[in-house]
Chains A and B, each alone.
Chain A
Amino acid sequence: QVQLQESGPGLVKPSGTLSLTCAVSGGSISSSNWWSWVRQPPGKGLEWIGEIYHSGSTNYNPSLKSRVTISVDKSKSQFSLKLSSVTAADTAVYYCARVKWSSGWVDYWGQGTLVTVSS
């Protein structure tokens, strides 16, 4: 059973950079999957941020592309999200997730972590 666990600061200052890591266990990060980030502002819907394959290939949401970097560390079986120049609008629960190669749907989710942007 694949398990995903997000970690990182719960509070980020405006104009700063949000940094989160997702630890993958119960399966290989080098398997045929896209490792993704999805966020959900309080009381709102889901927004896909982007994804990375173990080769390092990435795809990003065009609406966030200029501010997002997703990376992978296979040696630690984890992948990471960096979102720069954050504002209050970036306050959300951030989920890491797995999308099987060529499937398109999310079959595993992390529990989510709330990140608040505030001074």
Chain B
Amino acid sequence: EIVMMQSPATLSVSPGERATLSCRASQSVNSNLAWYQQKPGQAPRLLIYGASTRATGIPARFGGSGSGTEFTLTISSLQSEDFAIYYCQQYNNWPPLTFGGGTKVEIK
């Protein structure tokens, strides 16, 4: 099973600033990686798939990059609605699908 690790666990950012979240896989997942956003009391929402392709309706300030074992989610200019928990998920070796532990983006 591929283990996904996210860092940092918590990221404190001021509105308007850039946020950079990391995700690392225990072995290569090629570009088979997705990112999700989860707000309190809500289900996760798909942001990115294929490591860098934005899902339908996702604003351009969300960008994904990386391949192999190292991935990054960048939020170029944080808006108030972006403060949430973000999860990465691999689907290269599926089943099982595996998720990272999450990064909480909080207001600084």
CB distance from A63 to the nearest CB of B (A): 8
Q: A111 to chain B: which residues have CB within 8 Å? A: 42-43
Q: Does B99 contact A (CB under 8 A)?
A: yes
Q: Does B84 contact A (CB under 8 A)?
A: no
Interface pick from A12-20, A25-33, A41-49, A79-87: A41-49
CB <8 Å contact, B1 and A106 = no
Q: Is the interface of B mostly helix, strand, loop or mixed?
A: loop
Residues 21-76 (chain B) with a chain A CB within 8 angstroms: 32, 34, 36, 42-46, 49, 55
CB <8 Å contact, B46 and A59 = no
Total number of A residues with any Cβ neighbor in B under 8 Å: 22
Q: Does B83 contact A (CB under 8 A)?
A: no
Q: Is the interface of A mostly helix, strand, loop or mixed?
A: strand
> In the bound complex, what is the Cα–Cα distance between A60 and B95 (angstroms)?
7
28 contacts between A and B (CB under 8 A): A45-B87, A45-B99, A45-B101, A46-B36, A46-B44, A46-B89, A46-B99, A46-B102, A48-B97, A51-B95, A60-B96, A61-B95, A62-B1, A62-B96, A95-B43, A103-B49, A103-B91, A104-B49, A104-B91, A104-B94, A104-B97, A105-B49, A106-B46, A109-B43, A109-B45, A110-B43, A111-B43, A112-B43
